[in-house]
Structure 1
Amino acid sequence: MSKWLLYQLLFWLMVIWGFNVSAVKILVTYFPPAFMQGTRILIAGLSVLLILLFMKSLRKVTRKNIIGLLIAAFVGVVGHHLCLAIGLMSTTATNAGLILGLIPLCTAILAMIFLNERLTITKSLGIFMALIGVYLIVMNENGRLNDLSIGDLFVLGGVITQAISFILIKKLAANIESRQMTGMMLVFGSLMLLIISFFTESPETITTTEIPSYVWWILIASAVIATGLGHMVYNYAIHQLGASTTAIFINLSPFFSVVGSVLFLGEQIHAKHIVGFTFIISGVILGTGAIKLRYLNKGRMPQVKKAIGK
């Protein structure tokens, strides 16, 4: 696959991931959060594994790696998706989408802590700018945080758990093929979510509610296209383009989250969202080292190409 085609796929994937925030917001109005996410992610995980089975790409996984996958699934699937679903019950898709834009930066911060990556002045500035952006998004009309939505805090929890899972995945990726790892994590995590749902959520909240047919289509599309195929494409792009180049596209996802919230949910965009979005994206670019990557590509292209084997 050519780089240009892969760039286009990544662009459209960011559109889908951005719109998926609105999809989850719709789904939590009809389903209990743990049950909905468990069902949605189980469909996604089985889709990935069926595709890999058809491609004859499934490999045997050791018991040690399965334990690692269970831990990563609990943090990255259960933690992230449950926090996101619960958060969207009491905050807007606009706020959620913009806060989720912190995931690359949060991952970079954790990499500094656990993987001994160096904290530079540029990264420090990026972290500070991103925090300003979040403050602008969640503050009230008077510029204070006294009306901070619990939903915003849950979404922020989803950011942290997702970032932690990326650190775990980075360690597991040395022993397990990325697409198979994704499918297995989704299945493991979805089963955990369904178990949680069985003990914490009442089935009457599903059976007594009349669910329109389009909601089921949203559930299936979100599962198969956004979560299942989406993560396969993203992992393939990381393998072909490198993690740094691929991560830059993530910065488009919050923008399309906002667009989706306006188109599908009728939410209003305020000046604080625009300014906050600008601060977050600038902070993510600085904090994750994207500026440094562009500088290297400009001034030291031969050395970089040699280093990454292109």
Structure 2
Amino acid sequence: MSYVKIYMLLTGIMITWGLNVSVLKIIVMNTEPVTITALRIFTASIIVILILFYLGLIRLPKKKELFYIFGGALLSVVFHHFFLAEGLTRTSGSNAGLILGMGPILTVILTMIFFRQKPTVIRLLGFLCGALGVSFTVMAGGGGIHSINLGDVDILLSILSQALSFILINQASKTMDPRLLTGYMMLIGSFILFAISFWKEPNGLSSLADTPPSMWGAFLFSAIFATALGHMSYNYAIGQVGAAEASIFLNLNTLFALVGSVIFLNEAILPSHFIGLILIVLGVLLGSGAMEMWILQSKNRRLPD
């Protein structure tokens, strides 16, 4: 697949993921959060496995691939979705969307740590802008510098877990199709989340009997389009262009999450949100290396033939 098609695919995923923040907010506020998350991930895993079976991509993993599967299941499924569900019950959809926008910067930082790459001055400036952006966002939701919203902390842990999983997925994609990896991770992760829900929410499954039909419509949108197709396609893109490059597009997730919060949740966008958005966008452009690439390309175009 060409880079243009990959970038178009990533943009479509970000629209779905951004709107999904508001959908998830509605779902977890009207159900037991861990139980519904486990059911959503399990449903998504079945859909992914059926698609892979149709494509003829199903195979048993090799021994050395089991580490990536279980590690990815814990980071990308259990920790990411657990903290996301818990965080959305305590903070606003707009705050969650902005903090999730830290994904690209965290991915690049972790890539540098694990692969021993030294950051440039421009990237360090990007990391600083991103941190300031999240700080403004947290203050908007927490009521000021002296008030910390625990829901925002959960969302930050959620995106940190996902960023760590991108490193594993990037490595695993050298021997295993990322789409197959996604199916295995979701299936295993959903069972772990079910186990957590039985302990944390013993009446979780029985409480779903009173869920209105409209809620199941939101559930199916999230499970099929955002979770199954979204994660399968995004992990495929990581295998094609790399973790750091694919993570740049997560910034669009932030934008569409804010739009969704206004449309579906009737949330007010505060000045601190705009400041946070600008700083996070700037942080992504600088910290991901996109700005350095643009400067280099501009210099090359000016050179005489």
Moved more, 210-219 or 292-301: 292-301
1:153 aligns with 2:153: yes
> 2:136 aligns to what?
136
Which 5+ residue runs of structure 2 have no aligned equivalent? none
Tell me, yes or no, if the aligned pair for 1:140 and 1:147 is still in contact at 8 Å: no
- CA deviations 1:115-161 (Å, max 9, x no partner) are 21112111110111111111111115998322211100110111111
- The CA distance in 2 between the partners of 1:236 and 1:141, in whole Å, is 34
TM (norm. structure 1) is 0.90
Letter in 2 for 1:55: L
Query: Is the contact between residue 78 and residue 190 of structure 1 (CA under 8 Å) also seen in structure 2?
Result: yes
Q: 1: CA distance between counterparts of 2:65 and 2:208?
A: 41
| Residues 208-241 of structure 1: per-residue CA shift (max 9 Å, x gap) | 7731111111111101111111123223444555
- Helix, strand or coil at the partner of 2:192: helix
Aligned twin of 1:257: 257
Taking the aligned partners of 1:287 and 1:245, their CA distance within structure 2 comes to 11
The answer (yes or no) to whether the contact 1:29–1:89 under 8 Å persists in 2 is yes
On the 8 A contact 1:30/1:206 being kept in 2, the answer is: no
Question: 1:6, CA displacement in angstroms?
Answer: 4.5
Which residue in 2 is equivalent to 1:32?
Answer: 32
Superposed CA RMSD in Å reads 2.2
Range with bigger deviation, 82-91 or 30-39: 30-39
What is the TM-score of this pair, normalised by structure 2? 0.91
Asked whether the 8 Å contact 1:244–1:290 carries over to 2, the reply is no
Residue equivalent to 1:202: 202
Percent same amino acid at aligned positions?
39
Once residues 237 and 45 of structure 1 are traced to their aligned partners in structure 2, the CA distance between those partners, rounded to angstroms, is 18
2:87 paired residue number: 87
Q: Which 10-residue stretch deviates more, 195-204 or 215-224?
A: 195-204
Distance 1:142 1:120, change over 3 A: same
CA deviation string 1:251-285 (max 9, x = no partner):
11101000001100110001110111000111111
Following the alignment from structure 1 to structure 2, what is the Cα–Cα distance between the partners of residues 208 and 246?
36
CA distance in structure 2 between the partners assigned to 1:239 and 1:116 by the alignment: 20
- Per the alignment, in what secondary structure is the counterpart of residue 249 of structure 2? helix
Residue number in structure 1 paired with 2:193? 193
Counterpart in the other structure of 1:64: 64
Query: 1:287 is aligned with what amino acid?
Result: G
SS at the partner of 1:118?
Answer: coil
Contact 2:169 / 2:235 at 8 angstroms: preserved in 1? no
Between the aligned partners of 1:3 and 1:168, the Cα distance in structure 2 is 22
Unmatched segments (≥5 aa) in structure 1: 302-310
Cα distance between partner residues in 2 of 1:269 and 1:89: 18
Residue deviations 1:38-62 (CA, integer Å, cap 9, x gap): 1111111121111010111122311
Aligned to 1:75: 75
